[in-house]
Amino acid sequence: MAITGEHEVATTAELRLSEADPSDYFALLKPRVMSLVIFSAFVGLMVAPGSIHPFLAVVSVMCIAVGAGASGALNMWYDSDIDAVMKRTAKRPIPTGRVTPSDALGFGLVLSGFSVVTLGLLVNWLSAGLLAFTIFFYTVIYTMYLKRRTPQNIVIGGAAGAFPPMIGWACVTGSVSLDSFLLFLIIFLWTPPHFWALALFAQRDYHNAGVPMMPNVVGVESTKWQIFAYTLLTAVVGVLPFFTGLAGPVYAVLATGLGIGFIIHAYRVLRMSPSDERMQPAKSLFKFSLIYLFALFGSLLIDRLVTLGMSV
Amino acid sequence: MIEQVTLTEEQRKARRRRSIALAIVLAALVALFYVATVVKFGPAILDRPL
């Protein structure tokens, strides 16, 4: 606070005169995470039995995407202290000072409200309820509670990322079912190998930030075995949609191939030497896990389109 | 005397860009609710007493 004569004049910084661009607010939505949310929600919507008007389908996916983005903004608001000390996140809008934490909080809350209410009014209230729960789960349960307390943070918190296909399904059917739960389960089981692969080669970063990721708490060897176990489970559950009748043989073949690829990558991590500081197998697993999930849900989509094509 | 804040050129430009983005989002929301209303009512939207 500067003092000129008898008047107290706030400095520019105190007035919080923002130089934030719209792109900074867009970055708060975690666009890369959003792309997976959009795709998995779209697939959930496409493979669900029943039909929905194409425009309402677009509205549904948009609301789910904005809701997920809102959770991203709320996460960045709460975690800005951690983000500032981690190499991967230090350039986010809050640590760099381009957006203030309170602006990010307001932005996240407004978008949460808009996305849930719009989905409820235009599509149905079950999907809106699931979206609201997802935002609550990611922000309060994962970000505020689990993340800094337990190495099981991303295991339990993974549920938040697994909900979008279930919400997409609920947008069409107005209900949840075993098949929509399977789509949830695939992403839920995929999350630990994906994030622990990252946690292996970003161990120092997580240590500096004080986040109790699995390798920092139980060690690298135990984490490698847990990655392998979850990868096996993901590969098996990934094929189940064929056995419940949700998908056909095209999907079964693709899902089996992808599952084997995922297991091979996890096995290479398991065999990784303790002296390997570059951790190339972990980096490869991290990249392949992303390809796996996109390709698996893409296979579901292809399978559905093939089935639709054959029935015409 | 009223103290006035003078924005820097960069702050002024950034505020303008944010205002434009907000206007676009609001216009898109209006269009979205308009089209969604027509879609949800279907042909019944024209079925009203004169």
* pLDDT in single tens digits along all 312 residues of chain A: 444 545 555 555 555 667 899 999 999 999 999 999 999 999 999 999 999 999 999 999 999 999 999 999 999 999 999 999 998 899 999 999 999 999 999 999 999 999 999 999 999 999 999 999 999 999 999 999 999 999 999 999 999 999 999 999 999 999 999 999 999 999 999 999 999 999 999 999 999 999 999 999 999 999 999 999 999 999 999 999 999 999 999 999 999 999 999 999 999 999 999 888 889 999 999 999 999 999 999 999 999 998 888 776
Taking residue A102's Cβ as centre, other Cβ atoms within 10 Å add up to 10
Q: Going along chain A, which residue ranges are E strands?
A: 2-4, 7-9
Q: Which of A17, A22, A55 sits opposite B11 (nearest CB)?
A: A17
Q: The tokens 């029935």 sit on which residue?
A: A311
Give the three-class secondary structure for A5.
Answer: coil
Query: What does pTM read for this prediction?
Result: 0.91
Of B1, B5, B36, Cβ closest to residue A56 = B36
ipTM: 0.85
Of B17, B18, B39, the CB nearest to A53: B39
Helix ranges (DSSP H) in chain A = 12-15, 22-28, 31-47, 54-78, 80-85, 101-122, 125-136, 153-173, 178-201, 203-209, 214-218, 220-243, 249-270, 280-311
CA–CA separation, A164 vs A220, rounded Å?
31
A5-45 pLDDT, tens digit per residue, is 455 555 555 556 678 999 999 999 999 999 999 999 999 99
A171 at interface of B, judged by CB pairs closer than 8 A:
no
Q: Which chain B residues touch A17 with a CB distance below 8 Å?
A: 5, 7-8, 11
Do A22 and B5 lie within an 8 Å CB cutoff?
Answer: no
State the pLDDT at residue A57. Answer: 97
Burial (Cβ within 10 Å: 0-12, 13-18, ≥19) of residue A303? buried
Alpha-carbon Rg of chain B, whole angstroms?
21
The whole-angstrom distance between B22's CA and the closest CA on chain A is 9
The answer to whether A193 and A292 are in contact (CB under 8 A) is no
Q: What whole-number distance in Å separates Cα of residue A261 and Cα of residue A65?
A: 29
Q: Which amino acid is at A233?
A: L
What pLDDT is attached to residue B44?
82
Statement: residue B5 has pLDDT above 90: no
- Distance, in Å, from the CA atom of A212 to the CA atom of A153, rounded to the nearest integer, reads 8
Cβ contact A41:A61 at 8 Å: yes
- Using CA coordinates, name the residue in chain B closest to A7: B3
Q: Which of B:16-45 have CB within 8 Å of A?
A: 17-18, 20-21, 32-33, 35-36, 39-40
Rounded Cα–Cα distance for residues A61 and A63 (Å): 6
Position B8, amino acid: T
Give residue-wise pLDDT tens across range B12-46. 999 999 999 999 999 999 999 999 999 988 888 88
Closest by CA to A210, choosing from A151, A138, A123, A157, is: A151
- B18:A55 CB<8 A: no
- Give the C-alpha separation, B16 to B6, whole Å: 15
**Radius of gyration from C-alpha coordinates of chain A:** 21
